A and B are shown apart, each in its own frame.
Chain A
Amino acid sequence: MDDSRPIFVQIAEKIENDIIDGTLPEETQVPSTNQFAAFYQINPATAAKGVNVLVDDGILYKKRGIGMFIKEGARAVLIEKRKEQFYEQYVLSMVREAKKLGITQDQLADMIRRGENKE
Chain B
Amino acid sequence: MNRTASVVRMHWRNRVFWMGLPGMIMGITFVVNLIIGYFIGQDEPYYTGALCSIFIMVGVTGVMIAAQTFPFAIGFSIRRLDFFLGTAAFAVLVSVAFAAALDILTYVEQQSNGWGVRMHYFHLPWLSDGWAISRFWVFLVGFLHLFFVGFVYASVYRRFGRLGVLSLSAVLFVAGSFGTFLLTYYDQWGALLDFFKPLTSVELFSWAAIPIPLYAAISYGLLRKSVA
- A–B contact via C-beta, under 8 angstroms: no
Residues of A whose CB lies within 8 Å of any CB of B are: none
